[in-house]
C-alpha cells in the first residue's frame, strides 16, 4: 500500500469525524430551538443506542463476510446523509424520532468500522493506530469550533447546510480508501459464544459500560448545560474543540509508550476511570460556561485514552478474521447500551434534578468503574491468566 493511500485514510478520518462532530455538538440545540423538551431530546438520543444493538453486530458481520469495509462505509455514509435530510424536513416530534431511528442505523457503527479499516490497513507495517485516529480528533475539534460562528451567522435552522457539505466531502473521500480486508479472511460466521467466553474481554465490556454511561450523558447534554449557563453557539463549539484537540498528543504518546500487554492496559484504564470521576465531579460544581470549556480539556485523558486502549485491547483479544465484529461489540457497549441509559436517565435528571445531580451520579459511577478495573488488574496479576480467546 503506497503512502497516498494512508494520506487518504487520514483525510477521511478528518472529515467523517468532523461531520459527526457538527451533528453531535449542535443538534441538541437545534432540537431545543424547534420546541423539543430536554426529556424528549434525551429519549430521542436514546433511540440511537437502542438501534445500535442490532446495527453494530449487523454491519460488523457484513464487513467480515464481504471482506470490504470500504463498501460498507460508503453505504453507511450515504444512508446517513440521505436520512438526515428527512430529519431536518420533519415538522413533528414523531417524524423526527422515526427518521432519527433510521439515521442511527447508519451512524452508530461508523467509527468502529473505520477503526477496523485502519487496523487492517496498517497490519504488518510500521504505522500506528493513533497516528491515524488523531486526524479524527483534529477534524472533530476544528470543524466543531469552525461551525460555531457560521451557525451563529446563518442560524441554527440552517445546521443542515454545514452538515451536508462536510458529509459530502467525507463520502467522496471514502472512494479513495483501501478495501480494508484483513490478511486472514473469515467465512462470515462470527462465533460470539467464543468471543464472550473470554472472561477478561467480557469483564472489560461490563466495566466499560459503567464508565461510558456518564460519558454519553455528557455528550448529549453538555451543549444544553452551556446554554443554560448563558453560553452561545461559539462557546459550545469551543467546548467541543478543547475536548478533542488535546487527544492528538495523547494518541501519539500512547502509540509510543503504551505497552501492548493486557495487564498494563487494564491498569491504565483504572487511572483513566479515576480521572473520569474527577471530571464529572468538577462538572457538577461549575458556575459559568467558561468553566465547562476548561474542564472539557480533561476529555483527552479520559475519553481519548479509554477509546484508544479499548480499541487496541479488543484488537489483541479478538481474532483478526473477526476484527470488525469485535470492534462492533466494543462499540455496542461503549456507545450503544450506555447511550440508552444515558438518554433516559440523563434526560430525566437534567429536567427534574438539574445537570449538577446528573454529573454527581456520573462521578460515582466512574469511581465504581475505577475500583472494578483495579480488581480486574489484581486478578490478572495474581492468576497469571493467559490472554487468548476462550480463557
Nearest CA to 262 among 301, 309, 306, 206? 309
Give the model's pLDDT for residue 333: 74
Tens of pLDDT, residues 327-345? 777 777 776 677 777 777 8
Considering the entire predicted model, what is its pTM? Answer: 0.71
Give the model's pLDDT for residue 167: 93
Give the model's pLDDT for residue 391: 46
Give the model's pLDDT for residue 336: 67
Q: Please tell me the distance from the alpha carbon of residue 68 to that of residue 324, in angstroms, as a whole number.
A: 11
Report, as ranges of residue numbers, the positions in the chain whose pLDDT lies below 50. Answer: 183-188, 388-391
Give the model's pLDDT for residue 187: 46
DSSP code for 303: I
Q: Please tell me the distance from the alpha carbon of residue 187 to that of residue 185, in angstroms, as a whole number.
A: 7
Radius of gyration over every alpha carbon of the chain, rounded to an integer in angstroms: 20
Give the model's pLDDT for residue 192: 58
Give the model's pLDDT for residue 183: 45
How far is the CA of 216 from the CAs of 3, 19, 182, 254, in angstroms?
36, 18, 31, 23
Name 103's Cβ contacts closer than 8 Å, sequence gap at least 6.
48, 80, 83, 84, 87
Give the model's pLDDT for residue 304: 85
Amino acid at each position: 500500500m503506497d503512502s497516498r493511500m494512508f494520506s487518504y485514510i487520514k483525510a477521511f478520518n478528518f472529515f467523517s469525524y468532523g461531520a459527526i462532530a457538527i451533528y453531535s455538538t449542535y443538534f441538541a440545540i437545534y432540537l431545543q430551538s424547534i420546541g423539543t423538551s430536554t426529556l424528549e431530546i434525551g429519549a430521542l438520543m436514546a433511540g440511537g443506542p437502542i438501534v445500535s444493538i442490532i446495527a453494530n453486530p449487523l454491519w460488523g458481520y457484513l464487513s467480515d463476510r464481504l471482506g470490504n469495509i470500504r463498501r460498507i462505509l460508503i453505504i453507511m455514509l450515504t444512508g446517513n446523509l440521505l436520512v438526515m435530510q428527512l430529519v431536518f424536513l420533519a415538522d413533528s416530534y414523531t417524524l423526527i424520532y422515526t427518521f432519527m431511528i433510521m439515521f442511527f442505523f447508519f451512524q452508530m457503527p461508523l467509527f468502529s468500522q473505520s477503526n477496523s479499516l485502519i487496523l487492517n490497513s496498517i497490519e504488518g507495517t510500521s504505522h500506528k493506530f493513533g497516528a491515524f485516529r488523531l486526524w479524527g480528533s483534529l477534524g472533530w475539534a476544528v470543524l466543531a469550533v469552525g461551525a460555531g460562528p457560521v451557525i451563529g451567522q446563518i442560524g441554527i435552522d440552517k445546521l443542515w447546510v454545514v452538515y451536508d457539505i462536510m458529509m459530502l466531502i467525507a463520502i467522496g473521500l471514502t472512494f479513495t480508501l483501501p478495501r480494508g480486508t484483513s490478511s486472514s479472511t473469515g467465512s462470515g460466521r462470527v462465533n460470539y459464544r467464543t468471543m464472550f467466553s473470554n472472561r477478561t474481554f467480557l469483564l472489560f465490556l461490563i466495566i466499560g459500560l459503567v464508565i461510558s454511561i456518564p460519558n454519553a450523558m455528557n455528550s448529549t447534554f453538555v451543549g444544553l448545560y452551556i446554554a443554560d449557563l448563558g453560553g452561545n453557539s461559539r462557546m459550545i463549539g469551543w467546548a467541543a474543540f478543547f475536548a478533542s484537540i488535546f487527544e492528538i498528543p495523547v494518541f501519539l504518546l500512547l502509540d509510543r509508550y503504551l505497552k501492548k500487554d493486557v495487564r498494563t492496559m487494564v491498569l491504565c484504564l483504572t487511572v483513566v476511570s479515576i480521572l473520569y470521576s474527577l471530571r464529572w465531579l468538577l462538572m457538577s460544581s461549575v458556575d459559568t460556561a467558561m468553566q465547562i470549556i476548561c474542564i472539557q480539556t480533561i476529555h483527552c485523558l479520559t475519553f481519548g485514552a479509554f477509546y484508544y486502549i479499548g480499541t487496541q485491547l479488543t484488537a489483541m483479544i479478538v481474532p483478526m478474521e473477526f476484527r470488525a465484529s469485535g470492534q462492533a461489540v466494543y462499540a455496542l457497549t461503549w456507545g450503544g447500551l450506555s447511550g440508552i441509559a444515558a438518554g433516559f436517565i440523563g434526560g430525566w435528571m437534567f429536567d427534574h434534578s438539574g445537570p449538577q445531580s446528573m454529573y454527581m451520579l456520573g462521578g460515582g459511577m466512574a469511581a465504581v468503574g475505577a475500583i472494578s478495573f483495579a480488581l480486574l488488574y489484581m486478578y490478572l496479576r495474581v492468576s497469571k491468566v493467559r490472554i487468548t480467546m476462550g480463557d
